[in-house]
Amino acid sequence: MAQVDVLIRDGHAGGTAAIDDVAPLEEFLSSNQLLEKVKLPNDTDLSLLIDYLPRLKTIMIDFPSFADGRGFSIARELRKKYGFTGDLIADGPLIPDQYVYALQCGFDAVKVDGVTYERQAESHWYDALDAFKVTYQRAYEFKNGPEISVFDARETSASSRNNNDPYYGLSASEALRRAIKEYDGNLVLASSMGVDSSVLLHMVAEIDKNLPIIFLDTGKHFRETLHYRDKLVSMLGLTNLINIAPDRQEIKTEDPHSDLNQTNADACCDLRKVRPLSRKIFDYKVRITGRKRFQTPDRRNLPILQTNDEQVKLNPLAYWSAKDVTAYMRKHKLPTHPLLSLGFLSVGCQPCTTRVSDGEDARAGRWRNLDKDECGIHYVDGKWAPIKEKKTLEVF
């Protein structure tokens, strides 16, 4: 069987279109055509490329052997010094143990030749990604153990300073304590009672059991979610749970047969989630959210304290990874959502939530088969956005 090159991206073997027709540097520089892909030796003088970088889509960097790490330096220089934002691909006999470092240096993918791939197929690369998914230079860690690469940590460090995040570097519980003090207790936590909600509820309970916690009862939740809510509230001794619900008259008029979700899910979310939450949430100066940087590209620069919106947002878990959440739940022996063990990695309303299969994204089970991946509760420029507007931040 012919042994062909394989591109490993995000730990998985994928198509090789990105590496077709890549011109060697000399050919690229002498060509009068507007080529968009180039392959560089690992001793290239990058200043030669300055004028071309804005339109270059792909740069492949040669690794003559796995022991020659100069390609890593070139990648870092391209990202950090020259601000290159296109695809960066490492080309050479790298081994899976080097994969995470390659990503940390700014590579998007590694090209593996067919012979190497026969020995070290997809699972080796994927396992390496998992096994080495820790901060490479521990000096970049934040308190409470966020899990980010050195490359992202540098980005994070720079962007956080740019954002002027006054809570930068605080642990989650320190951020909560400080905000409660600074905002005189005028904070609210809107909790979906989902699979990782127990973390913030537990932290809040440790500091102030009477802090308001809003639960939005859409009328469509799994019974398990409602039981889980009651269990957590009782176990943690929370004394200020506020259940809010859609307006009865609006339900009667707009969803009289309780089947709007089947015909117009956006309208249903607007009726049962966006409007009821909007009516209550702005009673408070600060809203505590469980949003995390790793969840979506939109959130990659999320600060811990966000003061540039109409309502201040406190994101104590901004720098947390999924592993941090699990570790915290284990450490504090917090019960898991009853549906988690049945394969529901993200739990919303019952009619719009399904199990996910191995390898699927955690949110793949939400609104499956619908061209919809968010519930319509979003902030756009600091305001709750009508559903048809650009969606920037998903909340539940």
Active site residues: 375
**Options 156, 261, 289, 321; binder of ligand SF4; rule CB under 6 A:** 261
Q: Give the shortest CB-362-to-ligand SF4 separation in angstroms.
A: 16
According to the binding rule CB under 6 A, does residue 212 interact with ligand SF4? no
Q: Give the shortest CB-374-to-ligand SF4 separation in angstroms.
A: 10
Name the one range near ligand SF4 by CB under 6 A: 44-52, 101-109, 168-176, 267-275.
267-275
**Options 37, 124, 229, 273; binder of ligand SF4; rule CB under 6 A:** 273
Q: Of 7 and 260, which CB lies nearer to ligand SF4 in the complex structure?
A: 260
- Interatomic CA distance for residues 330 and 127, integer angstroms: 23
Beta-carbon contacts of 209 under 8 Å, excluding residues fewer than 6 positions away, are 236, 237, 238, 239, 240
Please choose, from the candidates 96, 104, 148, the residue with its C-alpha nearest in 3D space to the C-alpha of residue 126. 96
According to the binding rule CB under 6 A, does residue 375 interact with ligand SF4? yes
Q: Of 80 and 275, which CB lies nearer to ligand SF4 in the complex structure?
A: 275
According to the binding rule CB under 6 A, does residue 236 interact with ligand SF4? no
Name the one range near ligand SF4 by CB under 6 A: 45-53, 148-156, 209-217, 344-352.
344-352
Tell me the three state secondary structure of residue 63: coil
Q: Give me the phi and psi of 311, to 5 degrees please.
A: -115, 135
**Options 348, 363, 391, 393; binder of ligand SF4; rule CB under 6 A:** 348
Q: Give me the phi and psi of 227, to 5 degrees please.
A: -65, -40
**Options 60, 102, 349, 385; binder of ligand SF4; rule CB under 6 A:** 349
CA atoms within 13 A on the CB side of 333: 2
- Interatomic CA distance for residues 104 and 129, integer angstroms: 11
Name the one range near ligand SF4 by CB under 6 A: 40-48, 121-129, 163-171, 261-269.
261-269
**Contact criterion met (CB below 8 Å) for 260 and 267:** yes
According to the binding rule CB under 6 A, does residue 149 interact with ligand SF4? no
**Contact criterion met (CB below 8 Å) for 378 and 384:** yes
What tokens appear for 255 in the block? 């969803």
Q: Give the shortest CB-351-to-ligand SF4 separation in angstroms.
A: 5
- Interatomic CA distance for residues 33 and 329, integer angstroms: 57
According to the binding rule CB under 6 A, does residue 192 interact with ligand SF4? no
Q: Of 147 and 247, which CB lies nearer to ligand SF4 in the complex structure?
A: 247
Position of minimal CB gap to ligand SF4: 349
According to the binding rule CB under 6 A, does residue 265 interact with ligand SF4? yes
According to the binding rule CB under 6 A, does residue 144 interact with ligand SF4? no
Q: Of 86 and 351, which CB lies nearer to ligand SF4 in the complex structure?
A: 351
**Contact criterion met (CB below 8 Å) for 271 and 300:** no
**Options 351, 380, 387, 392; binder of ligand SF4; rule CB under 6 A:** 351
Q: Of 126 and 228, which CB lies nearer to ligand SF4 in the complex structure?
A: 228
In which element (H, E) is residue 223 found? helix 223-236
In which element (H, E) is residue 37 found? strand 37-40
Q: Tell me which residues in 111-140 interact with ligand SF4 (CB under 6 A).
A: none
Bridge partners, residue 188, by sequence: 287
Which strand ranges, in their side-by-side order, compose the sheet holding 312-314?
241-244, 213-216, 187-190, 286-288, 312-314, 305-306
Q: Of 324 and 394, which CB lies nearer to ligand SF4 in the complex structure?
A: 394
According to the binding rule CB under 6 A, does residue 378 interact with ligand SF4? no
What tokens appear for 126 in the block? 């994927």
Q: Counting beta carbons within 10 angstroms of the beta carbon of residue 13, is it exposed (0 to 12), middle (13 to 18) or buried (19 or more)? A: middle
Interaction site with ligand SF4 (CB under 6 A): 218, 220, 261, 265, 268-269, 272-273, 348-349, 351-352, 375
